[in-house]
Amino acid sequence: MSDTVINRSSSKGKLGKGLTIERVFSTPGVHPYDNVTWERRDVVQTNWKTGEVVFEQRGVEYPDFWSVNASTIVPQVFPWRSRT
C-alpha cells in the first residue's frame, strides 16, 4: 500500500519543474485545423422505402479526405445536430 502525505506545509513555496510534453503532431503557432483541407457537403438522408427526406443538413464542412459514407454517418451519431 502506498503512503499518503497529509501535511504538505514543508513543500509550500517550492514549485517543481512540472511535466514537459514534447510536440509531435503539430507545429507551434499553427492551429491543427489549419493543416486540414475542408470542403462543404450537403447531407440528405431519405427513407429507402418512401423516398421521404428524413434528415437534411446543408453546407457542413468535412475534411476532404473523409468518404461520403463517413460524412453521412456523422450526423446520425451526434444527437445535437441541427435539423433544417
31-60: per-residue pLDDT in tens?
Answer: 989 999 999 999 888 899 999 998 888 888
Q: Is residue 82 assigned to a domain?
A: yes
Please state, as a whole number, how many other Cβ atoms lie within 10 Å of the Cβ of residue 36. 12
Q: Is residue 58 assigned to a domain?
A: yes
Nearest to 59 by CA among 81, 74, 39, 73: 39
Q: Is residue 44 assigned to a domain?
A: yes
Q: What is the pLDDT of residue 63?
A: 94
Which pTM value belongs to this model?
Answer: 0.56
Q: Is the pLDDT of residue 82 over 70?
A: no
Q: How many domains does the chain have?
A: 1
Q: Is residue 48 assigned to a domain?
A: yes
Structural domain of residue 67, as residue ranges?
Answer: 40-84
Distance, in Å, from the CA atom of 63 to the CA atom of 35, rounded to the nearest integer, reads 10
Q: Is residue 11 assigned to a domain?
A: no
Distance, in Å, from the CA atom of 63 to the CA atom of 32, rounded to the nearest integer, reads 12
Mean pLDDT of the chain, nearest integer: 81
Question: The C-alpha cell of 57 is what?
Answer: 443538413
Three-state secondary-structure class, residue 58: strand
